[in-house]
């Protein structure tokens, strides 16, 4: 009914606004870094930053185009276009986009091992949103001087796992499901005055669900959070072994 439709419209608007803000944050970080470095703005680092900055702007423009098209069509769901996605390559693109935000907070962003990772069945745009949301969280919730590590690997039953590890406060056991509810935030994050609306993980879980994937918080022996994303492999294990064996 109408009330239902109105609730869904508001939920959708909140979600898409969240997705627009994520690349904006990255773009702002690029601008700040470039400003600090303005004495030798033509050096290699600056050029690299400008390259990634353009990536962020491109991403933002695509999101806004999507939004306009969705407004025209009147649907409140993102269209999902599942295709063959090279996950390690997507991870590297996401890292490039977020690197300035991590530099600004004095955090290190590291690529962990990515052994023989098969391609996955996913919507490349939506999956990139998920990874960006997780990186934005690690950037915000882990302290400076720490390292955030991304790892991919094949899992059982033709699945592929992406893990994002940080060395922050972690997520207390009793909140590990609730953080995926819209607007829920761990009380410490609220009392610590960390910015955020509590939407990123709810959006991530919904997008992954639409792609036949899953997301959860795993236990880990050391301190910090470990977010796991599981996706379907498009090719069976080993089919891509030749691609990466010599890298």
229's tokens? 């994303």
Give the contact letters, 4-43, x = binds to ligand ATP (CB under 6 A), - = no: --------------x-------------------------
Q: How many other C-beta atoms are found inside a 10 Å radius of the C-beta of residue 22?
A: 23
200 lies in the site for ligand ATP, by CB under 6 A: yes
Tokens of 85: 């996605």
Told to check if 160 binds ligand ATP by CB under 6 A, we report: no
Q: Does 231 bind ligand ATP (CB under 6 A)?
A: no
Angle CA(112)–CA(80)–CA(86) in degrees, nearest 5?
30
With residues binned 3-state (H G I as helix, E B as strand, rest as coil), the percentages for the chain, rounded to 5, are 55, 15, 30
Identity of the residue, 26 or 225, whose beta carbon is nearer to ligand ATP in the bound complex: 225
- Does residue 81 touch ligand ATP according to CB under 6 A? no
Segment interacting with ligand ATP, rule: CB under 6 A, options 1-9, 29-37, 56-64, 181-189: 181-189
Cβ-count burial of 129 within 10 angstroms (0-12 exposed, 13-18 middle, 19+ buried)? buried
Number of C-beta neighbours around residue 198 at 10 A: 18
Binding part of the chain for Mg ion, among 51-59, 68-76, 195-203, 237-245 by CB under 5 A, reads 195-203
Look at residue 234 and give the partner it binds from ligand ATP, Mg ion, none, a contact being a CB closer than 5 to 8 Å depending on partner kind.
none
Strand pairing partners for 153? 161
**d(C-alpha 17, C-alpha 243), whole Å:** 38
Query: Considering Cα of 188, then 194, then 195, then 196, what sign does the dihedral take?
Result: negative
Under DSSP, is residue 199 helix (H, G, I), strand (E, B) or coil? Answer: coil
Closest separation in Å from C-beta 148 to ligand ATP:
9
Q: Pick the piece of the chain touching Mg ion (CB under 5 A) from 5-13, 94-102, 116-124, 198-206.
A: 198-206
**Distance from the first to the final alpha carbon of the chain:** 56
Residue with token string 């056991």: 173
* Binding span for Mg ion by CB under 5 A among 42-50, 62-70, 194-202, 232-240: 194-202
- In angstroms, give the least distance from the CB of 120 to ligand ATP: 22
Using rule CB under 5 A, residue 100 touches Mg ion: no
With binding defined as CB under 6 A, does residue 205 bind ligand ATP?
no
Name the residues that contact Mg ion, by CB under 5 A: 137, 200
Name the residues that contact ligand ATP, by CB under 6 A: 18, 137-138, 141, 166, 168-171, 179, 185-186, 189, 196-202, 225
């Amino acid at each position: 009914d109408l009330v239902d439709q109105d609730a869904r419209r508001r939920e959708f608007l909140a979600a898409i606004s969240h997705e627009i803000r994520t690349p904006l944050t990255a773009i702002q970080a690029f601008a700040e870094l470039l400003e600090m470095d303005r004495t030798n703005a033509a050096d290699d680092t600056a050029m690299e930053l400008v390259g990634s900055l353009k990536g962020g702007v491109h991403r933002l423009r695509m999101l806004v185009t999507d939004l306009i098209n969705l407004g025209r069509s009147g649907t409140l769901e993102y269209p999902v276009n599942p295709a063959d996605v090279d996950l390690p390559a997507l991870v590297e693109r996401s890292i490039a986009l977020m690197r300035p935000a991590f530099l600004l907070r004095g955090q290190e962003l590291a690529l962990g091992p990515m052994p023989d990772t098969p391609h996955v069945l996913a919507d490349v745009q939506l999956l990139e949103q998920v990874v960006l949301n997780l990186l934005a969280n690690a950037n915000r919730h882990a302290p400076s001087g720490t390292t955030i590590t991304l790892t991919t690997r094949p899992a059982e039953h033709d699945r592929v796992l992406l893990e994002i590890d940080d060395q922050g406060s972690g997520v207390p056991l009793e909140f590990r499901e609730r953080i995926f509810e819209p607007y829920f935030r761990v009380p410490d994050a609220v009392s610590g005055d960390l910015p955020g609306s509590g939407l990123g993980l709810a959006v991530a879980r919904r997008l992954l669900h639409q792609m036949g994937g899953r997301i959860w918080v795993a236990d880990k022996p050391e301190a910090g959070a470990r977010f796991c994303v599981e996706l379907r492999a498009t090719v069976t294990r080993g089919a891509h072994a030749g691609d990466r064996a010599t890298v």
